[in-house]
Amino acid sequence: MSAIRFDDRVAIVTGSGGGLGREHALELARRGAKVVINDLGGSLDGTGDNSDAAMAVVEEIKAMGGQAIANGSSVADEAGVEKMIADTMQEFGRIDVIIANAGILRDKSFSKMTVQDIDLVLAVHLRGSFLPVHAAWNIMKEQNYGRIVVTTSSTGLYGNFGQANYGAGKLGVVGMMNSLKIEGAKNNIKINAVCPIAATRMTEGLMPQAMLDNLKPEYVTPGVMNLVKEDAPTGMILSAGAGAFSMAQIVETNGAFVGQGEALTAEAVAAKWDEITDTATQTHFDSGAGHGGNIFARLQEAAAKA
C-alpha cells in the first residue's frame, strides 16, 4: 500500500494549538503539507486569547523541516476567518484541506443553561465550522480540489447529560456535511466527519486515568488522514478512539403505509407501530431524496395490494 502524502497541499487546522488539532496538524506536516495553525488560545469555556500555543506548534513543524504559519482568529468571527483565509492565500497560494476542530464547552443541565451558554457553544462548533469552509469554498471550487473534515461527537449523535448546546452544534455539522458532499461532488470537494474520543482538556476529569491513558489524541489522527487524502470517501462519519475505528450512520426503517383520508388516524398509526419501528431492515440514504423515496415505496406497495 502506497504512503499517504500531502506534498504541495495546504491545510488549515482550527483549534490546533493543542489536543486533537495539534496532532492532526503535526501529522499533516510530517506527510508534506504546509499547515496553518489556527488557535484563539482561549480557555476551555472560550474566554481569553493567547497566541503562544499556536506559535509553539508552528515551531515544532519548522523544527522538523516543514512549513507553517500561526493564526489567532476566532472561527466564530467572520472578519477573523476572512483574515485567516487571506493570510493563507498570501503565504501559500491555495487551500486544499480544512479540518474544523476548534471547540469549547459550557456544560450545564438544561434547566441551568443560559442563553449565552447556548449561543457561545453554537457559535464555535457550528458557526465556527461553517465560516472557514464557506470562506474557502469558492477557492476549492476553482481548484477543483478540496478535502474537509468537520468534528462531530457522540453527544451529537447519541446524546449526553448536560450537553444539549454542544450536542446540537455537533449534530449540526453533520447536517452541513450531508449537503456539502452533494454540492462539492462535481468539483472534487470531499467532506467527512470525525467522531473522536480522546484524552484532551475537554475530557479531563470525565474518565478515570486508566481509560484516558488509552485515549491519546494521536490515536485518532491516522483516521483523519484517511478522510482528507487524495482518494478519501465523502459524507462519512468516522468514529475514532484508542486506535479503534468504526463508521456511524443515520439509518431508517422500511416503515409501513398506514392509510389516507379518514383511514389515517392516530389509532391507525398505533396499530402499525411495530411494523413502523421494525429494525429488521434499515437503510442509510445518500440524500434527502432517498428518504422521500422510501416513503413513496410504501405507498406504491399499498397501491399494488389494493
Question: Which sign does the torsion angle of CA 238, 242, 244, 246 carry?
Answer: negative
Number of residues that this document lists for the chain: 306
* 134 CB-near residues (< 8 Å, 6+ apart): none
Question: Distances in Å between the alpha carbon of 168 and those of 152, 201, 239?
Answer: 10, 21, 18
The answer to whether residue 166 is catalytic is: yes
Instruction: For residue 206, give the C-alpha cell.
Output: 470525565
The active-site residue, picked from 145, 158, 166, 219, is 166
Helix (H, G, I), strand (E, B) or coil at 235: coil
- Which phi and psi angles does 75 have, rounded to 5°? -70, -15
Instruction: For residue 146, give the C-alpha cell.
Output: 478540496
Tally of CB atoms within 10 A around 160: 15
70 beta partners: 37
Question: Distances in Å between the alpha carbon of 189 and those of 80, 139, 149?
Answer: 24, 11, 11
253 beta partners: 282
Catalytic residues, which ones?
166
